[in-house]
Amino acid sequence: MKIIFKVLMIALVYVIISGCQDQQKTATGEKINDKELTSQSDRQKQVLLKDIDRKYENPKAHYELGRLYHSEGLWDKAEWEYNKALALDPVHHDAQASIVKLLVDKGDKTRSSVLADMYISQASISAKHSLLLGRAFQERGLDEYALSSYLQAHNLAPNSVVINKQLGYFYLLKKDNANAEVYLRRAFELDPYQPEIAGELGKLGVQVQIPKKQPKDLNKLEKMKDEKGQGQDNQGEMK
């Protein structure tokens, strides 16, 4: 009987130890049981939570975790992680646009509008930040805020090929051909070696021609020819 009792006790201890090993507690206080991780989302969360355990000041991990919570409809958790990402990286444009999208999904139009305006204002420090924020808004279907960001970028850098092209393609997607033509024309004027822009303008009924590229050393060759010609003329005069 004593032998049986010892065997049972050993088995019980083994089960308890195994269970403790399977259970993990992260810095955020969320318990993870490896055996319950059945979905891809759960596995992704496990990886991200472990990343945060290793380095809490990781804006990318907090953002990605917020994105997973967002997709599951866990609004409060998602907003917390997005805000944490922004606390660590104040110009994390994906997190900014995601918070606005989250509030839109929740039906909180007032807060979403206020935050969107604030982020757009913050991005006015440069055309680059305005452009990147606009792309983040557009990727989440927030076209009104995307356009505001793009126009702000254009005001800051009206002669940017990238920004004019971005606005042109934006208006093409909105089927606003008149505005699309304006910005695509300008992008082509600034850099005529863009066959894709020429193609889009052609579809809009605008005929443009891509100039032939001149050899890099063309000017040097022409100068050498001139010098050679002058030398021959001098020789003729001497004769």
Q: What is the DSSP string of 212-238?
A: PPPPTTHHHHHHHHHHHHHHHHHHHHH
Averaged pLDDT for residues 163-175: 97
- Rounded Cα gap, residues 161 and 135, in angstroms: 16
pLDDT digits (tens, 9 = 90+) for 16-33: 444 444 444 545 555 555
Say whether pTM exceeds 0.75: no
Averaged pLDDT for residues 178-206: 95
Q: Output the average pLDDT for the chain.
A: 83
pLDDT exceeds 50 at position 77 = yes
Whole-angstrom CA distances from 15 to 32, 95, 126 are 17, 43, 59
pLDDT digits (tens, 9 = 90+) for 93-136: 999 999 999 999 999 999 999 999 999 999 999 999 999 999 99
Q: Are 124 and 137 in contact (CB under 8 A)?
A: no
pLDDT digits (tens, 9 = 90+) for 6-17: 544 555 445 444
